[in-house]
Amino acid sequence: MNRCFFITGTDTDVGKTVVSCIMLKKASNVGYTTVGYKPVSTGVSEKSSLNFINSDISLLRKYSDLKLSDSEISPIVFSQKTSPNIASRINGREINLEVINFGLENLKRKADFIVVEGVGGWYTPLSFDMKISDWVKSREIPIILTVSFKIGCINHALLTVEAVQNSNLKIVGWVANRFSLKKKFHSNYFYSLLHMIPYPCIGIIPDISDWQSYPMEKYIKSRYIF
């Protein structure tokens, strides 16, 4: 049986990839065959005619058990670092949901633990008529919310939780990312969210620069995801 989770965030650049990689590592440690999937990627630079560089794709590939191509991990990529609907219009290339669905089904045949990383926030548009949230709803994938600790995170987190609830999707829990007791108000942010989000905090990830060399998988509580 496949375990599949969708990692969304309160905004772009909030640590969705960090949370995704930690979950992949933790699941692999307990015996799952893991793979990361990012249906749509933006901000991809071209290395050659057949090669692209994107840190999110590279990290998901690194922390996946299966050794897959970049196109299997992220079937739709754009070089522009902007909203997918804008990149799609610039390139004259529609974001095809059949391609995204095929990519996910391909991975489900190969792995039993799949972490799907979103692009931007919950309502990031893929076109004028379709948001990433619409696709997740059509697939009924359980949600894990990444909250980056900074000013405004309480409002952003509560808005995202409400939006996901309105989609009638299961919220597994939320992760406090870039948390530091040394930073002003972080503990206040945390306790506010702990009381205001009606779902468990399944992880607290510290604010460190080199997370890849840190055994951070211990900061995700496995009982909520396995």
The terminus-to-terminus CA distance of the chain in angstroms comes to 12
**What is the phi/psi pair of residue 66, to 5°?**
-80, 140
Angstrom distance (rounded) from CA 217 to CA 211: 10
The reply, when asked if residue 206 is annotated as ligand binding, is yes
Residue 177 labelled as part of a binding site = yes
13 annotated as belonging to a binding site for a ligand: yes
65 is in an annotated binding site: no
- Residue 103 annotated as lining a ligand binding site: no
117 annotated to a ligand binding site: yes
203 is in an annotated binding site: no
116 is in an annotated binding site: no
- Cβ atoms of 53 and 44 closer than 8 Å: yes
Q: Is 16 annotated as a binding residue?
A: yes
Residue 42 annotated as binding? yes
Q: Which residues pair with 176 in a beta bridge?
A: 147, 204
- 75 assigned ligand-binding residue: no
Q: Does 91 appear as a known binding residue?
A: no
> Annotated catalytic sites, by residue?
38
- Following CA atoms 84, 88, 94, 98 in sequence, which dihedral angle do they give, to the nearest 10 degrees? -30
Neighbours of 32 (CB within 10 A): 18
Rounded distance between C-alpha atoms, residue 70 and residue 22, angstroms: 19
**DSSP for 123-159, written as a single string:** T-BSSSS-BHHHHHHHHT--EEEEEE-STTHHHHHHH
Identity of the residue numbered 96: N
Query: Residues at the annotated binding site?
Result: 13-18, 42, 56, 117-120, 177-178, 206-208
Query: Residues at the annotated binding site for Mg(2+)?
Result: 17, 56, 117
Query: Residues at the annotated binding site for ATP?
Result: 13-18, 56, 117-120, 177-178, 206-208
Query: Residues at the annotated binding site for substrate?
Result: 42
